[in-house]
Amino acid sequence: MAVIGKIREKSGLVLIVVGIAMLAFLLPTDGLTGLFGGQDNSVGEIGGVEITGQEFDQRLEQAILVWENQNRTSAPTDIRDQFKEQVWNDIIREVVLESQFKELGLSVSPEELADMVQGNDPHPQVKEAFTDPNTGVFNPGQVLQFLKSLETMPAENRNQWFLFEEGMEKERIATKYNNLLIKGMYPTTSMQKRAFTEQNEQRDLKFVAKRYISVNDSTISISNEEKRAYYEEHKSEFKQDASRDIEYVKFEVTPSEADIAEAKKWMEETAEEFKTTEDDSSFVAYNSEQPMDETYLGLESMPAALDSSAFNAEVGTVFPVYEEQGAFVLAKLSEIKMIPDSVKARHILLKTSNQPSDTLLEAKLDSIKSLVENGADFAQLAKDFSEDVGSAIEGGDLGWFTEGRMVPTFNDACFYGKVGELVIVPSNYGFHLIDIQEQAQKSRKVKLAKIVRQITPSNETFDEMFAKASTFYSINATSEAFTKATETGEYVKQLASDIKVGDKGFAGMPNVRDVIRWAFKSDKGSVCEPKQFDNTFIVAHLAEVREEGIATMDQVEIQIELGAKKKKKAAMFIEEMKGVASLEELAQKVGGTVETADNVNFAAYAIPGMGQELRVNGMVSTLQQGQISVPIEGQTGVFVVQVNQVKTTTTETVDYSPIKAQLEQSYQATAGRVIEVLKEKFGVVDKRYKFY
């Protein structure tokens, strides 16, 4: 069973890498009808293939179950959210990649799969599972013995192995596909030479620029037809993800005067009992919203609301109620101790994962303690046995440290123990043998028992604010009414822009997933009923809806207007800059100067004095020495360029192998992006927001 354990531990990695969850069919479908019981239970479409909510949820819960089994704990919210994305991406890969595998006829034969398990060069995880940990040698005989014993294994273990084999098969097919892509892009000798030239051939330039900023936008008028033409020509620049803009009004529930008075009254009544109780810890545990703090405080660490007289009070003194961080606090001086300000100690640590007790380690430390008590060198024993590497090389020495620097059990042993004591204590790191070497001068420290009660709104206060939010909604449930109501100044309208479908919140409101789900299920102009998030009610207005694809003209109106004006300027400048014999003549004509840029090559992203002007760069690479270009429409202006000098590197004896490696690496990166291209080709519609 140890082999199955190794496979179970590692096989999840294969499934993640390949991107295919294969355990979903094992889950029952009962219990899912509540979430996905309606007529429209689709969570998305991939290439026309509908993904049902039941299918997605089965695979999601199975992935989480595998994680929980491996980590022996319940999956927290952030882990569950990560799996929601991973499982969705796994399904996308299945649909788009497996269609390509089938189209290409890619498969793994039974003989090939057998070779991956018991051949001369088995799969790395098979090799790891059947390698002797003591010798590091792979044992193929154990593989055969294991395979023969499959029939007698429990069904769970046998299924786990078959699923692992299926994962290896899918991984091999994916590897074949990836290799086909990479091998299909080969850098020929001519391509290597061209790439070398592009990177190394340099040109020194002179140029005249007429920049768009030289003509104010307000002087350029454009018609609706010109705007439409610009939009149609540049549609590809207006691609967008689905997003929403939400306007909202917050109704925050804060404690009323009555709530504050009630909380303070309760604290004052509790103070009378607090004065007479003899068990402060139990009283705090029963009455306080925070646990007892066992720390002993110096004068400098006392709460700001308590002065030096409180520090010097007698044990049992209960101080007046004070307010701290939105809560009322009732403090009682519970204990006084004389504690050193700092301690010098050394230790020997034996680590354990078997908390809270590990008798073997305790016994071993007890033996080491006996050795020290009988004259052995503590420092040498620390070097030999301590698993705290940082201090072991110093003989376990930790130097001087103040209270609170170490974990509680270690801290208490050092500060409340006596100099010269050898103490064994547990911690979350393991077990420590501590030698208390020195203690600084002792000073008065006090322990405060504190009753803490947050000042929170009452149910009545919540009801009042909910009624206010509900009244606002009932009067302003249309887009026009909401807009008008938030223009008067009585209500503060806030805006959350560019919200994506997977967002959990927005600035100032981090956990408002329910509002975001509403926004993606509603029409533009909708107003939602009051939604509560902690101590806040929100009434939201869906101000803008942007669907995935090409933005509409009204959504990119500003960009269109700016772009169309720039294009019109470019046409004017090009006409003005035509037909000159020299750059000097052109500079005089347009009121500019002749500028220079040296060492420009095609592979560069920017040109000195111009910035990122890719059109200019492309034109420059075609010009011969002394040649003047036509006017070139750029990003920041129109340019006319002349090449002063072409500087080339001889290519007769050049070693192109670095260029070849560079191109091959770029091809591999291109192959790695194929999934994004296929997703765009197939079309992916994500509707998980309806349920999650």
| Beta strand 239-240 pairing with 632-633 | unpaired
H-state helical runs in 277-314: 280-287, 308-311
Helix axes 657-672, 155-183, angle to 10 degrees: 130
Which segments of 493-586 are extended strands (E)?
A: 493-500, 531-533, 536-546, 549-550
Q: How far is Cα 50 from Cα 322, in angstroms, rounded to an integer? A: 61
- Helix, strand or coil for residue 202? strand
H-state helical runs in 151-295: 155-183, 189-200, 224-233, 257-276, 280-287
φ, ψ dihedrals at 112, nearest 5°? -65, -40
pLDDT value for 492 = 93
Residue at token pair 């269109």: 560
Residue 208: CB partners within 8 Å, gap ≥ 6? Answer: 577, 583, 586, 587, 590, 592, 593, 594, 595, 639, 640
The pair of three-digit structure tokens given for residue 553, joined into one six-digit string:
């003209």
| HEC readout, 311-341 | HCCCCCCECCCEEECCEEEEEEEEEEEEEEC
pLDDT value for 652 = 61
Q: Which CATH class is domain 202-237+556-647?
A: alpha beta
- May I ask the CATH architecture of the domain 243-254+458-547? Roll (3.10)
Residue 233: CB partners within 8 Å, gap ≥ 6? Answer: none
| Sign of the torsion formed by the C-alpha atoms of 44, 46, 48 and 49 | negative
**CATH code for residues 342-440:** 3.10.50.40
H-state helical runs in 429-497: 459-475, 479-485
pTM above 0.85, yes or no: no
Cα separations in angstroms, 101 against 105, 163, 170, 213, 259 = 6, 20, 10, 53, 67
| CATH 3.10.50.40, the chain: domain bounds | 342-440
Residue 489: CB partners within 8 Å, gap ≥ 6? Answer: none
Give rounded-to-5 percent helix, strand, coil for the chain.
45, 20, 30
pLDDT value for 119 = 84
Cα separations in angstroms, 256 against 322, 538, 555 = 18, 20, 44
Q: H or E element: which one contains 208?
A: strand 202-211
Report the DSSP beta bridge partners of residue 42: 52
Q: Quote the Cα angle for 112-113-114, to 5°.
A: 90
The strands making up 632-633's β-sheet, listed across from edge to edge, are 595-600, 202-211, 637-647, 632-633
The pair of three-digit structure tokens given for residue 612, joined into one six-digit string:
């990122």
- Helix, strand or coil for residue 681? helix
DSSP class per residue in 581-645 = S-HHHHHHHHT---EEEEEE-TT-S-BTTTBS-HHHHHHHTTPPTT-BPPPEE-SSEEEEEEEEE
Which among 362, 342, 337 has a CA at the least distance from the CA of 352? Answer: 362
Mean pLDDT by 10 residues, the chain (692 residues): 47 35 32 49 87 90 86 87 90 87 90 87 85 78 85 81 86 89 87 84 92 94 94 93 95 95 94 93 94 88 89 93 94 93 94 61 88 94 92 94 90 92 91 95 92 95 96 96 92 94 88 93 96 95 93 93 96 94 94 92 86 91 92 96 85 77 85 84 85 83
Q: H or E element: which one contains 435?
A: strand 430-439
